[in-house]
């Protein structure tokens, strides 16, 4: 490696978590504080390196930047190539940022196998960064599936309730089975083109019939990850049983892998099939928006309420992606980023309540604003951000998605807007039931507002959500040329 390669910020961002894992293996398990401090330093350093990507990123280019190619299996034409464009840049930064949140929120709540828990999260961070930067379809599939292993362990070992093993297996099997179709499509693509380099595959013209078959195979994998209805059954269970940090990374990053896959592979590689299946995607998206919103209104578990609301928001994302215009796609990317922050914050708020009172059943909570006023302010802000209130990133994302959808079909936009109304209903009703009303002293004998550590975890999330809502041009400038390049490939 040359010095330029070693100090490439993408290389540094990629290898830092793995170096942290190796050092953690060498530290005795009894030194739990050392393990925590080391893990925190590693994720903070990784985040700093990811910010260097943004600082050095050239926003007026649609090409992959920080590009590196390494020999892997040259005889089979397999190469480990990595690079970043405007579409993947902020997903990497979001991953590294939420990894810090996950380590901090677990600081005092994880009591067993702490070292193994930290190793799982550092491995998961490494895999997710690779998913967003590898430019080889085979490697993407390997990392895309490798996410299941640490997440399976996080839910199954450190989950909060008795059904955690069932939820872990459900998550693992649903997403694995869906991705097997993608593996078959990958093998077919390799034998057809002789390459798995996505920059070569983007230039290859598959027949329309083959595009349809391949698109369906990729759709089976990505639709489960988003998840789209009817492939959503695993998500509420996984969220309900996962520890707080597991829910944060699941809602913040893992739900975005499907949308990223559509943008990176389905649209540019199979443009004719993407246009052909637009009505199917729009129909499933509308069902997700309305059905998930109505289901959210009936939930009694706080985590399941947020989980079902995530399914509804992902319906807006898929509408934006398959509107196949600049406004829709940029809006979907911005909405994914904003949702990654807002849903993570809501899961943090629920986790704070569970750590104190050991229940997530909503009937036990009422009038908390009387004894937890600071918590109430944070919960109010993120509830309104979840609605897509003006001034938050979700508003800009949903607005651009609806503008993009309006250019395709006005009826589609009308029915999607119903989801916005239902979103306001379940978010405001949730906040009202938890924070207002009579304080139920018969269930809890003591109350504690958020701690200093929890305050400083939630504060950056508030500031970034406001930044995205008040001055989104900073983010859209980086995304714009990559989205234009994607649209040109569809023509």
Task: Give the span between the Cα atoms of 171 and 160, in whole angstroms.
Answer: 16
Q: Which pLDDT does position 460 carry in this prediction?
A: 93
Number of compact structural domains in the chain: 1
Query: Which pTM does this prediction carry?
Result: 0.93
Q: Which pLDDT does position 50 carry in this prediction?
A: 93
Give 149-217 as a DSSP string: HHHHHHHHHH-SSTTHHHHHHHHHHHHHHHHHHHHHHHHHHHHHHS--BHHHHTT----HHHHHHHHHH
**Beta bridge pairs of residue 68:** 82
For residue 339, which of 378, 379, 382 has the smallest C-alpha distance? 382
Coil, strand or helix at 78: strand
Contact 101, 348 (CB under 8 A): yes
- pLDDT digits (tens), the chain, 491 positions: 555 556 788 999 999 999 999 988 888 777 778 888 899 999 999 999 999 999 998 888 888 888 888 877 776 777 888 999 989 999 999 999 999 999 998 887 777 888 888 999 999 999 999 999 999 899 999 999 899 889 888 888 888 767 778 888 888 888 888 888 899 999 999 888 888 888 888 888 888 889 999 999 999 889 888 888 887 788 888 887 888 888 899 888 988 999 999 999 989 999 999 999 999 999 999 999 998 888 888 888 888 888 888 888 899 999 999 998 999 999 999 999 999 999 999 999 998 888 888 888 888 888 888 888 899 899 999 999 998 889 998 999 999 999 999 998 888 888 888 888 888 888 888 889 888 877 776 677 777 888 888 899 999 999 999 999 999 999 999 998 988 988 887 76
Written as six digits, the tokens of 158 are 């450190």
Contact 249, 122 (CB under 8 A): no
Task: Give the span between the Cα atoms of 243 and 232, in whole angstroms.
Answer: 20
| In a domain? residue 75 | no
| In a domain? residue 402 | yes
Tens digit of each residue's pLDDT (9 = 90 or more) over 47-89: 999 999 999 988 888 888 888 888 777 767 778 889 999 899 9
Tens digit of each residue's pLDDT (9 = 90 or more) over 348-361: 999 888 888 888 88
| In a domain? residue 474 | yes
For residue 330, which of 266, 275, 403, 270 has the smallest C-alpha distance? 403
| In a domain? residue 35 | no
Task: Give the span between the Cα atoms of 344 and 339, in whole angstroms.
Answer: 8
Contact 43, 96 (CB under 8 A): yes
| In a domain? residue 228 | no
* Residues 269-273: contacts with CB under 8 Å, at least 24 apart: 269/198, 269/201, 269/202, 269/204, 269/206, 269/214, 270/206, 270/211, 270/212, 270/214, 270/215, 270/218, 271/211, 271/489, 271/490, 271/491, 272/208, 272/211, 273/208, 273/211, 273/212, 273/214, 273/215, 273/216
**Beta bridge pairs of residue 78:** 73
| In a domain? residue 358 | yes
Residue-range definition of the domain harbouring residue 480: 270-490
Q: Which pLDDT does position 204 carry in this prediction?
A: 87
Task: Give the span between the Cα atoms of 433 and 287, in whole angstroms.
Answer: 27
What is the sign of the dihedral through the CA atoms of 223, 227, 230 and 232? positive
| In a domain? residue 70 | no
Measured CA distances, 441 to 302, 367, 368, 371, 436 (Å): 20, 10, 10, 11, 14
Written as six digits, the tokens of 318 are 């898929």
Tens digit of each residue's pLDDT (9 = 90 or more) over 410-425: 888 888 888 888 888 8
| In a domain? residue 212 | no
């Amino acid at each position: 490696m040359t010095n330029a390669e070693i100090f490439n910020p993408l290389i540094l961002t990629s290898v830092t978590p793995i170096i942290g894992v190796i050092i953690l293996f060498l530290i005795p398990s009894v030194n739990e504080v050392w393990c925590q401090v080391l893990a925190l330093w590693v994720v903070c350093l990784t985040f700093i390196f990811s910010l260097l990507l943004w600082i050095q990123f050239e926003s007026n280019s649609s090409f992959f930047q920080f590009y590196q190619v390494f020999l892997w299996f040259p005889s089979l034409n397999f190469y480990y190539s990595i690079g970043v464009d405007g579409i993947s840049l902020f997903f990497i930064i979001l991953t590294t940022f939420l990894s810090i949140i996950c380590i901090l929120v677990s600081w005092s709540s994880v009591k067993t196998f702490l070292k193994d828990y930290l190793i799982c999260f550092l491995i998961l961070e490494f895999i997710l960064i690779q998913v967003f930067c590898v430019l080889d379809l085979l490697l993407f599939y390997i990392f895309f599936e490798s996410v299941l292993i640490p997440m399976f362990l996080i839910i199954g070992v450190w989950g909060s309730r008795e059904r955690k093993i069932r939820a872990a297996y459900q998550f693992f099997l649903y997403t694995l089975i869906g991705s097997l179709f993608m593996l078959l499509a990958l093998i077919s693509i390799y034998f057809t083109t002789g390459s798995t380099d996505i920059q070569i595959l983007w230039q290859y013209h598959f027949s329309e019939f083959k595009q349809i078959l391949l698109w369906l195979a990729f759709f089976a994998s990505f639709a489960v990850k988003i998840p789209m209805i009817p492939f959503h059954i695993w998500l509420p269970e996984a969220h309900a049983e996962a520890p707080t940090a597991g829910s944060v990374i699941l809602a913040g990053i893992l739900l975005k892998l499907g949308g990223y896959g559509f943008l990176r592979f389905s649209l540019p590689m199979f443009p004719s099939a993407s246009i052909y299946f637009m009505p199917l995607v729009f129909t499933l998206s509308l069902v997700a928006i309305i059905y998930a919103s109505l289901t959210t209104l009936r939930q009694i578990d706080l985590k399941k309420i947020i989980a079902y609301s995530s399914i509804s928001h992902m319906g807006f994302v898929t509408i934006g992606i398959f509107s196949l215009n600049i406004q829709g796609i940029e809006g979907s990317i911005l909405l994914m980023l904003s949702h990654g922050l807002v849903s993570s914050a809501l899961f943090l708020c629920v986790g704070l309540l569970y750590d104190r009172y050991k229940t997530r059943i909503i009937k036990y909570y009422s009038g908390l604003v009387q004894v937890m006023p600071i918590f109430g302010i944070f919960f109010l802000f993120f509830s309104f951000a979840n609605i897509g209130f003006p001034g938050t990133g979700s508003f800009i994302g949903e607005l651009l998605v609806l503008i993009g959808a309006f250019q395709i079909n006005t009826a589609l936009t009308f029915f999607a807007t119903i989801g916005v109304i239902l979103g306001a209903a379940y978010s405001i009703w949730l906040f009202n039931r938890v924070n207002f009303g009579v304080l139920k002293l018969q269930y809890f004998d003591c109350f504690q507002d958020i701690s200093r550590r929890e305050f400083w975890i939630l504060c950056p999330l508030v500031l970034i959500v406001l930044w995205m809502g008040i001055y989104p041009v900073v983010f859209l400038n980086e995304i714009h040329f990559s989205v234009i390049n994607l649209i040109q490939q569809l023509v």
